[in-house]
Amino acid sequence: MSSLLKLVAQRLLLGLLLLLAVSALIFAGTQILPGDVAQSILGQSATPQALANLREELGLNDPAYVRYFRWLGGVLTGDLGTALSNGADISTQIGKRLGNTLFLAATAAVVAVPLAILLGLLAVRYRNRWPDKLISGVTLASISLPEFFIGYVLIFFFAVKLRWFPSVATIYSSMSLLEKLNAIALPVAVLTMVVLAHMMRMTRAAILNVMQSAYIETAELKGLSAFNVIFRHAFPNAISPIVNVVMINLAYLVVGVVVVEVIFVYPGMGQYLVDHVAKRDVPVVQACGLIFAAVYVMLILVADIVAIVSNPRLRHPK
């Protein structure tokens, strides 16, 4: 058990070091962007003295490493700074937007994960037959199309032609759960189609790999039904790779929603980030980038730890 805890502790330490490295890359990336933050705030008609005063006020004249550690210290204490474009507190704004993004991603995950696993089980049950080929063909076709194309096609048919769902996924805190689900139906459909194929094919591949084991042949010789063998004997032993690919796709659902949020004008982190990139609001871009990276690293760490814990060789070392 000590070796298991040691491996988990190592993964957590590596995750923290990775986040530290990512924070440095995000800060460096925003600092080398072309243009001048002070100029973008005051406009082209600003005088040199006004620009110099604002740079001094914002601390832009300090060395880069001083500004980085000042920003990192604020992040560690929960202070993400204020937006340069409107003076709003970034932590407060992100708190609202992050909740919306997590709601959208969680809803898509509730639909996509069980559906992908079910389709993977069906593909294994009818492998190399028409259901398997149909499931693989449809899911691969969906993942081959870019999100913006799928989004606009769904808007055209289901919002413009049929008028079943709104084309703009705007939600408010005063809306009921059913109203929110109706508003985000189309972006959820887009996200589900994007991540479904990867999870389904990994589920299929992992179960087929387990199906080659000797104990599966023993279960088949006992006269158990094909689906019973797959669901009760093969699937539990294929959990580790399936959890890994599920967590990777959940990370994508949170981090990769930028395009979908912009298409449907959804008030989430992605829309917030794009709006402030256009304004060259560096503190907001840094904060959003770091939060996206933290969510991604956290989900990958969870997948890694689950894979370690589910490995019987590590749980019961000789």
Q: Give me the domain span that covers residue 237.
A: 90-315
Please indicate, yes or no, if residue 101 is contained in any of the structural domains.
yes
75 inside domain? no
| Residue 30 domain flag | no
Nearest-10 crossing angle of helices 282-309, 90-125: 40
Number of domains in the chain: 1
Evaluate if residue 44 carries a pLDDT over 70. Answer: no
Q: Is 175 helix (H, G, I), strand (E, B) or coil?
A: coil
Residue 48 in any domain: the answer is no
Helix runs in the chain, H state only: 2-31, 37-42, 48-58, 64-76, 90-125, 130-144, 147-154, 177-183, 185-210, 214-221, 226-228, 239-255, 258-263, 269-278, 282-309, 312-315
Give residue-wise pLDDT tens across range 250-302. 777 777 777 888 888 888 888 888 777 777 777 888 888 888 888 888 888 88
Instruction: Please give the mean pLDDT across all residues of the chain.
Output: 78
Does the residue 302 lie in any domain?
yes
DSSP code per residue over 239-289? HHHHHHHHHHHHHHHHHTTHHHHHHTT--SHHHHHHHHHHTT-HHHHHHHH
pLDDT digits (tens, 9 = 90+) for 87-144: 777 888 888 788 888 888 888 888 888 888 888 878 877 777 887 788 888 877 777 7
CA distance 113 to 280: 37
Q: Are 283 and 83 in contact (CB under 8 A)?
A: yes
Residues 6+ apart with CB under 8 A from 248: 198, 299, 300, 303
pLDDT in tens, 158-169: 888 888 888 887
| Residue 184 within any structural domain of the chain | yes
CATH number of domain containing 139: 1.10.3720.10
Provide the Cα torsion 198, 200, 202, 204; round to 10°. -150
- The answer to whether residue 215 sits within a structural domain is yes
Tell me, yes or no, whether 193 lies in a domain. yes
* Span 186-213, pLDDT tens digits: 888 888 888 888 788 887 887 777 777 6
